[in-house]
Amino acid sequence: MTKSCLSCLVLKSFLSSPLQMIIGDIGDCAITKDPRTGEWFLLQTIPGFRFRSLRNQQNHTTSLQYFRNIVDNIRFGRPQQPSEVLGRYFQPNYKNLLNLIPFQEITYIDPSPIGRGDKGVVHRAVWSCPRKIGMWSAETIDVALKSLKVPGTQDLEHFMRELDASFAAFQSKAIGCIELLGILMTPPREAHSISNRPISVLQTETLFLVLEFATEGSIIGYLNRTLTGQQSDWPVIIRFISNLANGLERVHDQGIIHRDIHPGNVLVTSRKDRGMPNRELPREPIALISDLGEGQLINNQSLGRACYGDPRYWAPEIRNSNTYSKASDVYAMGRLVADIVAVNWQIASNNGVVSKLIPQVLLEMIVNCQNPFPERRPSISEICQTLEDVRMSEKHNDLVLIPIDPEVLQSFISQSGNEPSGSSSSEIPT
C-alpha cells in the first residue's frame, strides 16, 4: 500500500470518529498532519471552542445565543451592559447570555399588577423587540416584569438569588420552565418625563426580571375553564403533569430546590416562536414551572430555616424541621397532581357524572410522591420517565382508569402530611 493511500485511510478513520461532529459544527475547524511523525492534529478557533464548551455545559440553543448576543449588542449599540448595572453582583457566567433590555424598548406597562407576593410584584408589559439574529422580523410581545417589593440591600440580595436561580433554570426556553428573557432597570426620575409610558407605579432605578408572559394564567384556572369532566380529559391532564415534571427536573438538574411548588407557580401558555413567519399558528398549550423567588441552591445552607409558600404543600420534614430537599419538591408535586385530579372530578360532578375515576399511573404517582419518608419518594427523573412511557403508549389508549372514593384519597393525603411514625404505607387507597 502506498504512503498516500495509508494517509487517506488514516484521514478517513479520523473523520469517521466523533471528531467529525466537531469539524462539521460551525465550519471553524481544520486538520493538519506533522510531516515528520505523521501525527494528525485538530485545529479549532477560539470562538468555535467556546461554542462547543457552552453546548456541552448547557445546550445547543445557549451556545448559539451567546454569539448572537455579542453581535446584536454591537448592531444595536447597547449603551449599557448587565455588568454595569449589577456591579459586584455580576457573575462571569452571565457574560453574553444575560440580556439587559433597554427601557425604551418597553412600550407599555400595565399599572395593575397581575401578581403580588411577599417579596415581589409582577406587571404585564409590552416589549418592542428589535429584529435579532435568528428572527425574521422585529415584533411586539407581552412580557412579565417582576420587581422587588421594597428597594433595599436585603431585597437586592434576594433579587440576585432569584436571578441566579432563574438564569440557571429558565434561560433558553428550557422544557417545562417559564423563559427568562433578561433584566430591566427603570431610569432615574428625571428621565421619566421624556417617556409617555405609564411607569409612575414603578420605583425608579429598580431592577426587574423580564419573563415570558403566560397567556393562559395559572394551571388550575386554565383547567377549570377548559376541562369537560369526560375521560378524554385525562390525556390533556397527563400532558400538563408531564410538562410540570420536565420543568422540575430542569430545576433539580441545575442544583436548585424550588421550595414553593403550588398551583400559582405553575402557569399555562400557548408558546409561539418569536420573530418567525408562522408564529400566529396555534400551538398546543403547555404548563410551565415559574417563580424561583424561594429557590435555593442545594449546597447553600446559609438562607435560614424558615418555611415558605403554601402550608398545604409542605412535606412532613418541612413541618417538623424546616428541611427542604429535592424530595420535598416531589412531595409538593404529588399534592398538586391530586389537586388537578380533584378539578376534573368536580367538573365531572357538575356535569352529572357520579363515579370518580383516575388513571392508575396518576394514583400511583400521588401515593408515591406523598410518602411521609423523603428517601422513599421517587426522583423527578423517574417520574418523568414514567409519564413519558405513558404518553408514548399508543396515544393513551392503554390508560387504565380505576374508581376511587375522593374522601379516601383526601384522607390519605392528609395523613401523609403528618410526622412519620416509623412505618410507611405506600398502598394505593381504594
pLDDT at 399: 80
Residue with cell 466523533: 18
Locate 232 and state its grid cell: 378524554
At 27, the pLDDT band (50, 70, 90 cuts) reads low
Among the four given CATH numbers 3.40.50.170, 3.20.20.450, 3.40.50.12280, 3.30.200.20, the one describing domain 98-213: 3.30.200.20
Single pTM value for the model: 0.80
CA neighbor of 98 nearest in space, from 36, 49, 167: 167
Helix (H) or strand (E) holding 42: strand 40-43
The span from the CA of 92 to the CA of 83, in Å, is 9
Residue with cell 407557580: 265
Q: Is the pLDDT of residue 10 over 50?
A: no
pLDDT at 88: 85
Pinpoint the residues of the chain covered by CATH 3.30.200.20.
98-213
Are 106 and 126 in contact, with CB atoms under 8 Å apart? yes
Q: Is the pLDDT of residue 413 over 90?
A: no
CATH topology of domain 216-430: Transferase(Phosphotransferase); domain 1 (1.10.510)
Q: Is the pLDDT of residue 349 over 60?
A: yes
Beta strands of 105-191 (E only): which ranges? 106-109, 115-116, 120-129, 139-148, 180-185
- pLDDT tens per residue across span 258-297: 989 999 999 999 877 655 555 555 578 999 999 887 766 6
